[in-house]
Amino acid sequence: KAGVTQTPRYLIKTRGQQVTLSCSPISGHRSVSWYQQTPGQGLQFLFEYFSETQRNKGNFPGRFSGRQFSNSRSEMNVSTLELGDSALYLCASSFADLNTEAFFGQGTRLTVV
Amino acid sequence: GNSVTQMEGPVTLSEEAFLTINCTYTATGYPSLFWYVQYPGEGLQLLLKATKADDKGSNKGFEATYRKETTSFHLEKGSVQVSDSAVYFCALSTGGSNYKLTFGKGTLLTVNP
């Protein structure tokens, strides 16, 4: 079956701009989570959506937002980009049961200049 | 809150050496435990998981046992190969409406021929 698809793979943006990243989960998965990966902070949880509802949010400023559509596809948006937002953004999909694992996409590498 | 502490790297081994990467956790409730692996330029792939105490997860020669009494989930492999070179992440999840993965900082493993 098809895996988790993230688009685009690479992005270069200027400080102050905004960006939208997209994630298509595995068919049948209703939970989509987003993570930020940086060399200094490691993998940090951004938010999780289940059936179009945000159920859980990490400790990130309000510039980071997301949404999920009825087909479970998800987007995350970062407004007023800062240099520190440069990171690999990973999306994961799952059934969200305690005992099931999350499947990750290849990520979107965002560089803010 | 939940947290995962894993052995700092980098770890450099010769081919066929024995590997141990230590992982301990703190969690509210009864989490599931995972090891993920990340190859250069890729997203995360599930390596193995365990969902209850004394469960042993295994895959591709890697093993880890869920030890509730010591809150540990150490990763082991008896004979590493060059192709095992990657970053390894220990993680835990709590399900339901609080579903998310909490990761350790990651351990870079390099295996030399």
Sign of CA dihedral A96, A100, A101, A105: negative
In this prediction, residue A98 carries a pLDDT of 59
Rounded to whole angstroms, how far apart are CA atoms B69 and A40?
31
Rounded to whole angstroms, how far apart are CA atoms A26 and A95?
10
The overall average pLDDT reported for chain A is 93
Q: Is the pLDDT of residue A90 over 90?
A: yes
In this prediction, residue B81 carries a pLDDT of 97
Q: How confident is the model at residue A47 (pLDDT cuts 50, 70, 90)?
A: very high
Residue B35 C-alpha, separation from nearest chain A C-alpha, in angstroms: 10
What are the E-state strand segments in chain B? 3-6, 11-14, 19-21, 23-26, 32-38, 44-50, 56-59, 62-65, 75-77, 86-94, 100-103, 107-112
Give mean pLDDT, residues A19-46.
Answer: 94
Q: B62 near B35, Cβ under 8 Å? A: yes
CA quadruple A24, A29, A35, A39: dihedral, nearest 10: -80
Per-window interface: A 59-88 vs B, CB < 8 A:
none
* B59 reaches A (C-beta below 8 A): no
pLDDT tens per residue across span A67-86: 999 999 999 999 999 999 99
Q: How confident is the model at residue B29 (pLDDT cuts 50, 70, 90)?
A: confident
Rounded to whole angstroms, how far apart are CA atoms A48 and B69?
30
Sign of CA dihedral B74, A105, A29, A75: positive
Rounded to whole angstroms, how far apart are CA atoms B78 and B76?
7
What share of chain B has pLDDT > 90, as a percent? 77
In this prediction, residue A97 carries a pLDDT of 65
Using CA coordinates, name the residue in chain A closest to B94.
A98
In this prediction, residue A7 carries a pLDDT of 97
Give mean pLDDT, residues B15-43.
Answer: 93
pLDDT tens per residue across span A94-104: 886 656 788 99
Q: How confident is the model at residue B96 (pLDDT cuts 50, 70, 90)?
A: low
Residue A38 C-alpha, separation from nearest chain B C-alpha, in angstroms: 10
Q: Which residue has the higher pLDDT, B15 or B7?
A: B15
The number of residues making up chain B comes to 113
The overall average pLDDT reported for chain B is 93
* Strand A10-13 to A108-112 pairing: parallel
Any idea what DSSP says for residue A26? Answer: P
Neighbours of B3 (CB within 10 A): 12
> What are the C-alpha distances in Å from A79 to residues A82, A112, B44, B111?
9, 12, 26, 41
Q: Which residue has the higher pLDDT, B98 or A91?
A: A91
Do the chains contact at A55 and B98, CB–CB below 8 Å? Answer: yes
Q: Is the pLDDT of residue B97 over 70?
A: no
Q: How confident is the model at residue B55 (pLDDT cuts 50, 70, 90)?
A: very high
